[in-house]
Amino acid sequence: MKSTEKRVEIRGSQRRPLENGQTVGKANNNELVEVTVLLRRRPGAVVPPALGTKKAPPLSIEELEAQHGAAPGDIQSVEAFAKSHHLAVVRVEPGKRTITLSGTVGALNEAFSTELSMQKTDKGVFRTRSGSLSVPEALGPIIEGVFGLDNRPAASPKFRRLAVAPRAGGVSYTPPQVAAAYQYPAGADGTGQCIALLELGGGFRPADLQAYFSGIGVTPAPSVLAVGVDGGKNSPGTANGPDGEVMLDIEVAGSIAPRATIAAYFAPNTDRGFIDALLAAMHDKTNRPSVVSISWGSAESGWTQQALNGLNEGLQDAGLLGITVCVAAGDGGSSDGATDGLAHADFPASSPFALACGGTRLVAKGTAVTTETVWNDGANGGATGGGVSEVFGLPTWQAEAHVPKSVNPGQKVGRGLPDVAGNADPETGYEVRVDGEVAVIGGTSAVAPLMAGLVALLNQKLNRRVGYLNPSLYTTPAIRDAFRDITKGNNGAYAAGTGWDACTGWGSPNGTKLLAAL
Q: Which of 351, 445, 472, 508 is catalytic?
A: 445
Q: Kindly tell me the sign of the dihedral angle through the C-alpha atoms of 250, 256, 257, 258.
A: positive
CA neighbor of 375 nearest in space, from 487, 297, 491, 484: 491
Q: Where a domain ends, among 92, 113, 147?
A: 147
3-state secondary structure of 486: coil
Check whether residue 391 and residue 299 sit in a common domain: yes
- 351 and 312, same structural domain? yes
Q: Within a domain: residue 236?
A: yes
The per-residue pLDDT for 166 is 53
Of the residues 249, 300, 317, 425, only one is catalytic, namely 249
User: Whole-angstrom Cα distance, residue 342 to residue 344?
Assistant: 6
Question: Mutual orientation of helices 61-68 and 305-320 as an angle, nearest 10°?
Answer: 130
Rounded CA gap, 327 and 315, in Å? Answer: 11
Alpha carbon 329 to its chain centroid, in Å, reads 9
The type of residue at 401 is A
pLDDT score, position 100: 98
Residues 204 and 324 in one domain: yes
Same domain, 299 and 409: yes
- CB 516 within 8 Å of CB 458: no
Domain-terminating residue out of 126, 147, 168: 147
Please indicate, yes or no, if residue 155 is contained in any of the structural domains: no
357 and 301 share one domain: yes
Residues 46 and 88 in one domain: yes
Tell me, what's the pLDDT at 52?
Answer: 81
Which of 96, 125, 147 lies at the terminal end of a domain, its last residue?
147
* Helix ranges (DSSP H) in 295-347: 305-320
Taking a C-beta distance cutoff of 8 angstroms, is the pair 251, 175 a contact? Answer: yes
Q: How far is CA 478 from CA 271, 433, 483, 499, 515, in A?
A: 38, 37, 9, 14, 10
pLDDT, residue 491, reads: 98
The C-alpha atoms of residue 214 and residue 326 are separated, in whole angstroms, by 27
Give the residue numbers spanning the domain of 369. Answer: 160-517
Q: Does residue 1 lie within any of the structural domains?
A: no
What is the radius of gyration, based on Cα positions, of the chain? 22
Mean pLDDT of successive 10-residue stretches along the chain, which has 518 residues: 77 92 94 98 90 87 97 98 98 98 98 97 94 98 98 93 64 96 98 98 96 96 98 88 94 98 98 98 98 98 97 97 98 95 98 98 94 91 96 97 97 97 96 92 97 98 97 97 98 98 98 98
CB-based contacts of 454, cutoff 8 Å, min separation 6: 179, 182, 184, 256, 509, 511, 514
State yes or no: cis peptide before 220, omega within 30 of 0.
Answer: yes
Write down the catalytic residue from 144, 150, 230, 245: 245
Count the neighbouring beta carbons within 10 Å of the beta carbon of residue 337: 17
Provide the H-helix boundaries in 113-264: 175-181, 206-215, 243-256
Same-domain pairing of 380 and 429:
yes
Active site residue 271: no
Q: Could you report how far apart the first and last alpha carbons of the chain are, in Å?
A: 57
Neighbours of 454 (CB within 10 A): 28
419 catalytic? Reply is no
Q: Distance between CA 48 and CA 61 in Å, rounded?
A: 16
**Residue 168: per-residue pLDDT:** 57
The CATH number that applies at residue 221 is: 3.40.50.200
Helix axes 305-320, 271-282, angle to 10 degrees: 10
**Integer Cα distance of 153 and 412 in angstroms:** 28
Residue 153 forms part of a structural domain: no
Q: Check if 445 is active-site.
A: yes
How many structural domains is the chain composed of? 2
Q: How does DSSP classify residue 493? A: S
> Which is nearest to 179 in space by CA: 508, 515, 517?
508
